[in-house]
Amino acid sequence: MLTENQPGKATPAEHGLSYLIEADGNRILFDTGQSDLFLRNAATMNVSLEGIDAIVLSHGHFDHGNGLEHLNGGRLICHPGCFVKRCRTSDNSYIGLKNTRDELENRFDIITSATPYNIADKIIFLGEIPRLTSFESISTTFSLENGTPDYVTDDSSLVVVLPEGLFLITGCGHAGIVNTLMHAVKVTGIQKIYGVMGGFHLKENDLQTRKTINYLKKNKTRHVLPSHCTAGPALAEFQKTFGSPAVRTGETYKF
């Protein structure tokens, strides 16, 4: 965990997310937080980011992609909608990416895809997530620059195919964790869900949280690690149900 909302013993935190994922012989930087903190924490952890195989941007919010300003070169994989101008509806504060697509194209080989994209044989960028459930992505606190509601249709995730089943890595899960997992199952043809970690964008112990927990229980999901934008009341329910640990910067998980 290079950047998370909760600090580690020697690694400070910010509101943001950045993971280094090693799987299927590949090293992937998943999101970059909102500053250069992911680089500073990597140095503290003695983790090299040289020679990574790809950078994946989960969606176009500042706390996931502004760290791109501190990188140069390589493949950058994201949904084509990541570069829209967007804000919080409540106060009109800007929450999109600092850099435009043109600026980033000068430094990265950008690959955009709204459909699933195989980064490696067993690592898939899921593209746009269909919104199928009746309890997820039904409201939003965000707006596009023209004032229309922003449901963050560029929100995507990575799925890694492990011998034990599917392991999903999310940035914020704006599309909904259940929607995203159902899409991962459809894309891979694999029914077994082994684990899920990252931002769940659940705030309260409400209907969406309870239905998400029920879906994960029904599918006998072994590893459930909500973090980043998952708030206290929801986190408490995941802890109670799955024994989910608090995810902090500087930590390493092996599955």
**Each residue's pLDDT tens digit in the chain (255 positions)?**
999 999 999 999 999 999 999 998 999 999 999 999 999 999 999 999 999 999 999 999 999 999 999 999 999 999 999 999 999 999 999 999 999 999 999 999 999 999 999 999 999 999 999 999 999 999 999 999 999 999 999 999 999 999 999 999 999 999 999 999 999 999 999 999 999 999 999 999 999 999 999 999 999 999 999 999 999 999 999 999 999 999 999 999 999
The total of other beta-carbon atoms located within 10 Å of residue 47's CB is: 15
**Angstrom distance (rounded) from CA 246 to CA 236:** 10
CB 59 within 8 Å of CB 142: no
What integer pLDDT is reported at residue 8 of this predicted model? 96
The confidence score (pLDDT) of residue 235 equals: 95
Question: Using CA atoms, how far apart are residues 120 and 117, in angstroms rounded to an integer?
Answer: 9
User: Token pair of 193, please?
Assistant: 């869900």
Rounded Cα gap, residues 174 and 188, in angstroms: 21
All domains in the chain, ordered by first residue: 19-242 (3.60.15.10)
pLDDT at 104: 96
SS3 (DSSP) at 219: coil
Residue 234 and residue 39: Cα distance in Å, rounded?
30
Q: Structure pTM? A: 0.96
